[in-house]
Amino acid sequence: MKKICLFFFIVVAPCTAAQKKDHIISLNGLGSLQLGMSQEGVEKILNEKILLPNSLDTINDNYQDTAKLKYKNIDVQLEFNRSYYAPYKFRMRLIGIKANSPLCKTASGIGVGTDILKIIAAYDSLHVKIQPGYVNYYETEEGEGKSTVSILDDAASTMDYFSDAYTMVFFLLNKKVISFELKAKLKDEKE
């Protein structure tokens, strides 16, 4: 019996810790998916090719594209943007991650089901913005009990266009988190 317990702690416990680390959300990303990564870097982590049709469109100037994929057994929506590093040369970079899995939590335990007051308390040192409805870019989906809590870093809150800016957004229903989105506004790279 002692050997079985020892085996459990040696083999299973580290696997559980690694799994939790893969699902930690922060202003910079989800686990090893970090905002600002190139499409190639994301493909390497996911071990699959990502098809982004807008990345090849040079006529309509579609600078953004999204892909719905699996990351560590959870459904995610990844948003990519063109990042120019030389005239007419660009790579697609990760600027958004959206998910609603209860496995995803911040280091302080905020995730699906968390109350709005816990979010405000956890991020009192950053800029917290609370809005009615689900706010997505320039549109708001209104409805009873719907709200959005955005956590902004200094660059995002001051709209500093000379720095990378990061925002963590929680979508709530009746003051409880139902999903989250991580967003970045990144400067173009230099060659």
Q: Where are the beta strands (DSSP E) in 31-175?
A: 33-34, 64-71, 74-86, 89-99, 127-132, 134-136, 139-141, 146-152, 165-173
Asked if residue 132 has pLDDT above 70, the reply is yes
- How much is the average pLDDT of 148-165? 85
Residue 45 burial by Cβ neighbours in a 10 Å radius (0-12, 13-18, 19+): middle
pLDDT in tens, 71-98: 999 999 999 988 877 777 778 899 999 9
How sure is the predictor about 16, in pLDDT bands with cuts at 50, 70 and 90?
A: very low
Span of 11-25, 91-105, 109-123, 136-150 with lowest mean pLDDT: 11-25
pLDDT value of residue 91: 84
